[in-house]
Structure 1
Amino acid sequence: GVWCWEMDIFEANKYVVATTPHKCWQAANTPISGCDRGGCGSNTWDADSNAFGPGKRIDTNRKFTQHTTFKDGKISVEYEQDGQNFSMNACNDSGYVWSMDDTFSKGMTIVMSYWGDNYSSMSWLDQRTGCSGDCDPNGQVTWSNIQINDA
């Protein structure tokens, strides 16, 4: 398979969301071995397991807002809902983020998808939260008011 530079803003299930940049050491569309599959990111569960999920500070059964900020070589994320906030640093490695600067400057394509796989393939996201098994066939997601602002 091939891999390319990637900026995951929101990879999630209802218990956790991860925000992760992935850089490559070679040109785009190179073998997977030429890119960082793990990336430099963080997730809400590791930051504070009581902050994000059904019935938690940011209740994922209801609409919430995510702000992702790229500043000074760092990526920070803030979630807001009904006056409640939760913030985390997604990638504090400024060298990692700056290494992606040229790719960001050239432009990246926004892709929004609703996807999943068997538990063994999704364990990187699901295992910490006890979320396993088949996805709810009636599961839903709504993305709205998408904005990209130049600081």
Structure 2
Amino acid sequence: MPGYRMGVKDFYGKGKTVDTSKKFTVVTQFVGTGDAMEIKRFYVQNGKTIAQPASTIPGVDGNSITTKFCDEQKAAFHDTYTFKDKGGMANMAKALANGMVLVMSLWDDHYSNMLWLDSTYPTDKNPDTDLGTGRGECETTSGVPADIESQHADATVVYSNIKFGPLNSTFG
């Protein structure tokens, strides 16, 4: 199912700029240190490097995760800012410097039916007027774990060619 990227609705999904019905590579870069750390993401598909689009949310500028971006996003969405409460980018950079384990999985969500990822969530909000609630095109009735487990028990995903290295060294 497609997900929206900070107000950009035609970027990520089947038949979109990053076509999720075809193989693609996600590249995430952690640049800098401390509170000045920046997390950049882009995609490579069919030999083409595709930049993360800039936010179209009023008052939220940029296409990478920085302290400023997080501050603006949380203010615009009126969200609880637990990331900052836990030390924000400075603590994230410190944790990365100490080493982390990469974990990837395919899962279902018995709490919110994965609606937080690519639907309207919370479901009682209006995605056209309540910033941050329109997260994708999936119906709010979708993602029920019992349905997923019974109808798609054979679902699979392939994670391959996982690489780690200096910036711009892990893809061509």
TM above 0.5, yes or no, is yes
Work out whether 1:146 is the aligned partner of 2:166. Answer: no
Question: Structure 1 residues 47 and 67, CA, compared in 2 at 3 Å: closer, same or farther?
Answer: farther
- Return the offset for 1:116: 1.3
- Return the offset for 1:47: 4.8
Work out whether 1:67 is the aligned partner of 2:27. Answer: yes
When normalised by structure 1's length, the TM-score is 0.62
Match of 1:85 in 2: 50
Aligned pair partner of 2:102 in 90, 102, 110: 110
Question: Structure 1 residues 52 and 75, CA, compared in 2 at 3 Å: closer, same or farther?
Answer: same
- Amino acid in structure 1 at the alignment position of 2:43: Y
RMSD of equivalent CA atoms: 2.4
Aligned pair partner of 1:125 in 117, 121, 124: 117
Aligned partner of residue 52 in structure 1, secondary structure: strand
Rg larger in 1 or in 2? Answer: 2
Q: 8 Å contact 1:57–1:84 — kept in the other structure?
A: no
Aligned partner of residue 49 in structure 1, secondary structure: strand
Aligned partner of residue 112 in structure 2, secondary structure: helix
Q: Deviations over 1:89-138 (max 9, x none)?
A: 34221683222222111111121211112472422113232322343333
In 1, distance between residues paired with 2:90 and 2:111?
34
Question: Structure 1 residues 141 and 107, CA, compared in 2 at 3 Å: closer, same or farther?
Answer: same
In 1, distance between residues paired with 2:96 and 2:105?
20
- Amino-acid identity (%): 34
In 1, distance between residues paired with 2:160 and 2:50?
19
- The structure 1 segments of at least 4 consecutive aligned residues displaced by more than 6 Å after TM superposition are none
When normalised by structure 2's length, the TM-score is 0.55
- Return the offset for 1:78: 0.2
Number of positions where the alignment pairs a residue of Structure 1 with one of Structure 2: 111
More strand per residue: 1 or 2?
1
Aligned partner of residue 98 in structure 1, secondary structure: helix
- Amino acid in structure 2 at the alignment position of 1:81: Q
